[in-house]
C-alpha cells in the first residue's frame, strides 16, 4: 500500500516524502481510513510501530481541510500522553507532518513553569498535547476551556493506568463535549482500559498490530546470571565493548540509576541518567547528548524511557530486571528499530530469576543464559501476584546484600517519587504552583528551553509556516 491510496492532503503527503516515508506502516494503513471517516478507534500498538503518525496524519488532514480557527483559550484536538518526553515527541511529530499547514500545536507538561503555558494558550491552539496532571491544572485555573475539543487522543493508555492517571483521565473526559471523535492507543488491553474504552468510545473500530511479544523476536537476547555484587563490574565490562554504539541501561529505581552513573564514572565510563527526579532541562540535555552521540550510555528508569525514540540504540542492558514482564518488552523495543539489529543483555541476580521466567512466558521464548542459573529458584519471589497497575506500586524483588527493603520505590505516579508530569506527591494541583523545591529546576528548564528536537518545552510551540500548495 502507498500513502497515495489514503487520500491525505498534498501538504501532508509532501512532508511524508520529505521525511523519506515511502509507505504506511501496518498500524497506519489500518487506522488512518477509520480516523479519516470520523470513527472512534481503538489502536493496539506499541511505540515503534508508527502509531503517532497513525493518529497525527488523519487529524492534520481533518484540521487542514477546515477553515475553523481555535477559539480563545481552547483547543480543537486534545492528545493526552503519560510522560513529558512522549508528549514532546508527539508535538514534534505534529510539527513535522504538519509543517506545510498553518496550524498551531501546544505542549502542556509538568515540571516547567505554568505561566508561559497559560500565556501561550491564550489565543487557543489547534492541537494541544498534554500530560493529564498539568492539563487539569490549566483547566482548573481556566487557562484552557476543553468544551471545544472535537477529537480526543489517549496515547499509551495502559501506561497511564500503570502510572495512576486513570482518575485524572476520567476528570478530563468529564470536561469534554460528548459529541467528539475519540482515539485510544494502547500497547496492551488490560480489563480496566477495556472498561474505560467502552465508556468513552462509541462504536469504535479496533485495529491491532504487532503484539508485544513479537518485538522480542527481532532482538538478540542474553541473560547473564550472576551475584548481585558483580553487577557493577559486569556492566562496566560490557560497556567497554567497542561494538556498542549506543546503550540504554535500565534500572528499576531513580536512586539505582544515579548509583549506576556514579559507579560507571568510577570505572572511567561516561554516562547520563534520565529519570523523574531530574529537571526537565536535565532530562532534555541528557537525551540530547545521547542522541548526538556525545554520551554513549543512557541510564534510565522504565517511566523516563517510555516513548523515547532514539535511532541507533545498539544495546539495551537490564541492570535490574523489571518486575512487570511487559516492561521488558518495552525496554528491549528501544533497540532493533528501523529494521536494524539489536542486542538486549539482562543481568539476573538470583532473586530476579522468577522475573525472568515471567518474561520468558510472555515472550514465549527462553532467553539464552550465561553463568550458573540457580536451580532452586522456581517459586516467585513474592507471596501473591499483584494485579497489573498495582505492581509498580509495590516493591519488586526482595533486596539482596542487606539493602534496606523499601528504600527506593519503583518510579511512577504512585511510586512515591515525582509524578510523571512533574508534580511531587501531595503537591496541590489547584494551586498550580510548585513548592519551594521546584523553583531551581524550573529556572534551569527555563534557561534551557531547547530540546534535542527543537521543541520549546514548557511553552506552546507554534507551527507558523504558511500554507503552501493547498
Interface residue list for ligand AMP (CB under 6 A): 21, 24-25, 28, 47-53, 309
Smallest distance, Å, CB 26 to ligand AMP? 10
How far apart, in whole angstroms, are the C-alpha atoms of residue 165 and residue 81?
10
* Residue in the structure block whose three cell numbers are 562496566: 236
Among residues 1 and 37, whose Cβ is nearest to ligand AMP? 1
Among residues 83 and 418, whose Cβ is nearest to ligand AMP? 83
Smallest distance, Å, CB 96 to ligand AMP? 8
Smallest distance, Å, CB 286 to ligand AMP? 19
How far apart, in whole angstroms, are the C-alpha atoms of residue 335 and residue 332?
6
Smallest distance, Å, CB 50 to ligand AMP? 3
Q: In this structure, what C-alpha cell is assigned to residue 254?
A: 531513580
Smallest distance, Å, CB 45 to ligand AMP? 7
- Nearest one of 132, 138, 139 to 83, comparing CA atoms: 132
Among residues 216 and 264, whose Cβ is nearest to ligand AMP? 216
* Residue in the structure block whose three cell numbers are 518545552: 457
Smallest distance, Å, CB 51 to ligand AMP? 5
CA quadruple 182, 129, 25, 463: dihedral sign: positive
Smallest distance, Å, CB 220 to ligand AMP? 21
Among residues 156 and 320, whose Cβ is nearest to ligand AMP? 156
- Nearest one of 211, 214, 209, 185 to 336, comparing CA atoms: 214
Smallest distance, Å, CB 215 to ligand AMP? 11
Smallest distance, Å, CB 17 to ligand AMP? 11
Among residues 40 and 155, whose Cβ is nearest to ligand AMP? 155
Among residues 20 and 436, whose Cβ is nearest to ligand AMP? 20
Among residues 21 and 462, whose Cβ is nearest to ligand AMP? 21
Among residues 47 and 318, whose Cβ is nearest to ligand AMP? 47
CA-CA distances (angstroms) from residue 149 to 35, 78, 179, 322?
16, 7, 9, 37
Among residues 24 and 106, whose Cβ is nearest to ligand AMP? 24
* Residue in the structure block whose three cell numbers are 481510513: 33
- Nearest one of 112, 456, 90 to 278, comparing CA atoms: 112
Smallest distance, Å, CB 216 to ligand AMP? 17
Q: In this structure, what C-alpha cell is assigned to residue 434?
A: 510548585
Smallest distance, Å, CB 140 to ligand AMP? 31
Q: CB 220: neighbour CB atoms within 10 A?
A: 14
Among residues 50 and 417, whose Cβ is nearest to ligand AMP? 50
Among residues 3 and 319, whose Cβ is nearest to ligand AMP? 3
Among residues 47 and 414, whose Cβ is nearest to ligand AMP? 47
Q: Which residues pair with 78 in a beta bridge?
A: 128, 152
How far apart, in whole angstroms, are the C-alpha atoms of residue 101 and residue 15?
10
At what angle are helices 166-174 and 132-140 packed, to 10 degrees? Answer: 40
How far apart, in whole angstroms, are the C-alpha atoms of residue 150 and residue 152?
7
Smallest distance, Å, CB 156 to ligand AMP? 10
Amino acid at each position: 500500500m502507498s500513502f497515495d491510496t489514503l487520500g491525505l492532503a498534498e501538504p501532508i503527503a509532501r512532508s511524508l516524502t520529505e521525511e523519506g516515508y515511502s509507505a504506511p506502516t501496518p498500524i497506519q494503513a489500518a487506522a488512518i481510513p477509520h480516523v479519516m471517516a470520523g470513527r472512534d478507534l481503538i489502536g493496539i500498538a506499541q511505540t515503534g510501530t508508527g502509531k503517532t503518525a497513525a493518529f497525527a496524519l488523519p487529524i492534520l488532514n481533518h484540521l487542514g481541510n477546515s477553515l475553523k480557527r481555535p477559539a480563545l483559550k481552547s483547543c480543537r484536538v486534545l492528545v493526552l500522553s503519560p510522560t513529558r518526553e512522549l508528549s514532546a515527541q508527539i508535538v514534534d511529530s505534529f510539527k513535522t507532518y504538519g509543517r506545510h499547514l498553518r496550524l498551531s500545536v501546544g505542549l502542556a507538561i509538568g515540571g516547567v513553569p505554568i505561566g508561559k503555558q497559560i500565556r501561550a494558550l491564550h489565543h487557543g491552539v489547534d492541537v494541544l498535547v498534554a500530560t493529564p496532571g498539568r492539563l487539569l491544572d490549566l483547566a482548573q485555573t481556566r487557562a484552557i476551556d476543553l468544551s471545544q475539543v472535537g477529537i480526543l487522543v489517549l496515547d499509551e493508555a495502559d501506561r497511564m493506568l500503570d502510572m495512576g492517571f486513570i482518575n485524572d483521565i476520567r476528570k478530563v473526559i468529564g470536561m469534554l463535549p460528548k459529541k467528539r471523535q475519540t482515539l485510544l492507543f494502547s500497547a496492551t488491553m488490560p480489563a480496566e482500559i477495556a472498561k474505560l474504552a467502552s465508556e468513552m468510545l462509541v462504536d469504535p473500530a479496533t485495529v491491532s498490530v504487532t503484539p508485544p511479544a513479537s518485538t522480542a523476536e527481532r532482538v538478540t537476547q542474553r541473560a547473564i546470571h550472576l551475584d548481585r555484587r558483580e553487577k557493577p563490574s559486569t556492566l562496566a565490562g560490557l560497556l567497554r565493548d567497542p561494538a556498542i554504539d549506543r546503550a540504554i541501561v535500565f534500572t528499576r529505581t531513580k536512586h539505582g540509576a544515579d548509583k549506576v552513573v556514579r559507579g560507571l564514572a568510577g570505572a572511567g565510563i561516561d554516562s547520563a541518567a534520565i529519570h523523574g527526579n531530574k529537571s526537565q532541562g536535565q532530562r532534555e540535555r541528557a537525551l540530547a547528548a545521547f542522541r548526538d552521540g556525545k554520551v554513549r550510555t543512557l541510564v534510565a528508569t522504565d517511566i523516563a524511557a517510555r516513548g523515547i525514540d532514539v535511532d541507533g540504540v545498539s544495546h539495551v542492558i537490564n541492570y535490574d530486571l523489571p518486575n512487570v514482564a511487559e516492561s521488558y518488552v518495552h525496554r528491549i523495543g528501544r533497540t532493533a528499530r528501523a529494521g536494524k539489529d539489536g542486542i538486549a543483555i539482562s543481568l539476573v541476580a538470583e532473586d530476579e530469576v522468577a522475573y525472568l521466567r515471567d518474561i520468558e512466558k510472555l515472550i514465549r521464548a527462553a532467553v539464552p543464559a550465561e553463568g550458573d542459573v540457580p536451580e532452586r529458584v522456581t517459586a516467585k519471589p513474592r507471596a501473591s501476584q499483584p494485579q497489573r497497575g498495582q505492581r509498580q506500586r509495590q516493591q519488586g524483588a526482595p533486596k539482596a546484600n542487606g539493602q534496606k527493603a523499601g528504600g527506593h520505590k519503583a518510579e511512577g505516579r504512585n511510586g512515591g517519587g515525582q509524578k510523571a508530569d512533574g508534580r511531587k506527591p501531595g503537591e496541590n494541583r489547584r494551586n498550580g504552583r510548585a513548592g519551594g523545591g521546584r523553583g531551581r529546576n524550573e529556572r534551569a528548564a527555563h534557561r534551557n528551553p531547547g530540546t534535542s528536537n527543537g521543541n520549546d518545552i514548557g511553552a506552546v510551540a507554534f507551527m507558523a509556516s504558511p500554507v503552501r500548495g493547498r
